[in-house]
Amino acid sequence: MEIIRVPVLSDNYAWLIHDDGQTVALDPGEAAPVAAAAAARGWTIGQVWLTHWHPDHVGGAAELRAAGAHVAGPAAEAAKINGLDTLLAEGDRIAVGSLDATIWSVPGHTAGHIAFHLADRAVIFTGDTLFAMGCGRLFEGTAAQMHANMRRFAALPENTRVYCGHEYTLSNARFAAVAEPDNDAIAARLADVTAMREAGEPTIPTTIALERATNPFLRSVDAQELAERRAAKDAFKG
Binding-site residue positions for Zn(2+): 52, 54, 56-57, 109, 128, 166
Alpha-helical segments (H) within 110-222:
143-154, 169-179, 184-198, 208-214
Chain centroid to CA 20: 23
End-to-end distance of the chain based on CA atoms, in angstroms?
38
The CA distance from 204 to 207, in Å, is 9
Those residues whose C-beta lies under 8 Å from the C-beta of residue 118, and which sit 6 or more positions away, are 99, 100, 101, 124
Inter-CA distances, 138 with 122, 171, 195, Å: 27, 17, 30
The answer to whether the peptide bond before residue 205 is cis (omega within 30 degrees of 0) is: yes
Catalytic residues: 52, 54, 56-57, 109, 128, 166
Kind and range of the H or E run holding 66: helix 61-66
